[in-house]
Structure 1
Amino acid sequence: MGAYVTITGPDGEFQAYVATPNRPNGRALVVIQEIFGVNKVMRDLADVYAEQGYLAVVPDLFWRIQPGIDITDQTPEEWQKAFDYFGKFNVDTGIVDIQATIDYLQKTHQKVGAVGYCLGGLLAYLTATRTSITASVSYYGVGIQDRLAEVGPQTKPLLLHVASEDSFVNKDAQAAMKTGLSGQDHIHLYVYDGLDHAFARIGGQHYDAAGAALAHQRTIAFFDEHLS
């Protein structure tokens, strides 16, 4: 069970869910939300990372639209709300808030990682290209193929999990990502054959336990390498 803290960024204050480990491993993570807000799925993910020793913080990136959004993916009405929030969301200000969260964590942790899902997967990618993060992991990020020019010498170590049958990231987008990110020794991309978008979202329509477990194993190994 976590708690909430207030983080102050350049544009104002916002809330963040914090999961504190009983046995800290000395590492901290920014856990970046999907389009459903800081909901139970995201809080549970933070709790899982905390169980593995990470101080895990989930910032409320929709606070400019409406603070405290917390919905599920279980009804058409909630999906409609989620897409409405997504349409109103500004990616650039979201990265500003992620940097503010990194700054908050860097007061107590020298190395900070980020992991994001869906919308958060795109933001995790941009976190690697734009912020002071140490390393970043993207789960089925949407729209990365349109921002490949952001990759450069400043890009931090980055791991991407891509579902081969992702209904939001088609084959052309996946091919563009593979081509655009190839040759970058600090960027690794794994494709999960036969899986669809949000394969790691427990309770979701496309959840796949084996795929989620493999991706999580790779994520932890990646953080073990870069946050040690």
Structure 2
Amino acid sequence: MGEMIELTSADGHKFQAYAAGDPKSPRALVVVQEIFGVNRHMRDVADRLAQSGYYVLSPAVFDRAERNVELDYTAEGVKKGLELRAAIAESDVMMDIEATAAKLSPRPTGIIGYCWGGTIAWWGATKSKSFRAAVTWYGGGIMQTKEAVPNCPVQMHFGALDKGIPMSDVEAIKQSQPEIPVFIYENADHGFGCDDRASFNAEANKLAEQRSLAFFAEHLV
């Protein structure tokens, strides 16, 4: 079990982050939330990744719009999450991501994100130089900046059944970024890595997490 800590962005904004693992660990990860906040699932992900020897921080990026957000995986939760996401500027999100990375410096740090966080992890790779590796899980917004140049190695994961991220988009991303390993899980839908969703796919989640951890083990040295 981890704990909530407070961080401060460059503009003075104070926000919460869930911290898991040993603060003295030589390697670190930033785990970026879905549109449901730093809820039970995201804390569980952070705890699990920390068990592989990382100090993990999961920043509450919704704090700029509303604090202590923990939404359920319901239609109401989706609606609220989309409203909160729309209320926060990309530049402000990145300020909070940079502040989180700064808290983990100078140890080698990676970033991994899920859903909206998958897109933010892509921003972490392309708009920041604070990370040595980035992993994205079903990041729907990646398509919009698929031509961006990453500043670190990137790995991507998508579900073949994800109607929100059609395979045509994934193929376009692959064509724009031929050096990036892109994994597609044939029987997996959006959110296949979340055991609180009906779309959870234990087999795909296990394989994607193994690949993610192997990627970080290779690059966070």
The letter of the residue matching 1:156 is C
CA contact (8 A) 1:62 1:85 kept: yes
Alignment root-mean-square deviation, CA = 1.5
Q: What is the deviation of 1:70?
A: 1.0
CA distance in 2, matches of 1:86, 1:9: 18
Equivalent position to 2:108, from 82, 107, 111 = 111
CA contact (8 A) 2:159 2:188 kept: yes
1:165 aligns with 2:161: yes
CA distance in 2, matches of 1:189, 1:156: 15
Q: What is the deviation of 1:179?
A: 0.9
Equivalent position to 1:156, from 152, 159, 162 = 152
**Counterparts of 1:55-94 in structure 2 under 5 Å?**
55-73=55-73, 75-94=74-93
TM-score by length of 1: 0.91
Corresponding position of 1:121? 118
CA distance in 2, matches of 1:99, 1:7: 11
CA distance in 2, matches of 1:49, 1:200: 13
Q: What is the deviation of 1:87?
A: 2.4
CA contact (8 A) 1:28 1:112 kept: yes
The letter of the residue matching 2:158 is V
Q: 1:25 and 1:13, CA in 2 relative to 1: closer, same or farther beyond 3 A?
A: closer
TM-score by length of 2: 0.94
CA distance in 2, matches of 1:67, 1:30: 19
Q: Report sequence identity in percent.
A: 36
Corresponding position of 1:180? 176
SS of the counterpart of 2:147? helix
Q: Residues 21-52 of structure 1: CA distance to partner in whole angstroms, max 9, x if unpaired? A: 49x65211000000001111101110101122
Could you list the structure 1 runs, at least 4 aligned residues long, displaced by more than 6 angstroms after superposition: none
SS of the counterpart of 1:62? helix
> Structure 2 stretches of 5 or more lacking a match?
none
CA contact (8 A) 1:21 1:51 kept: no
SS of the counterpart of 2:181? strand
> Structure 1 stretches of 5 or more lacking a match?
none
Corresponding position of 1:96? 95
The letter of the residue matching 2:107 is Q
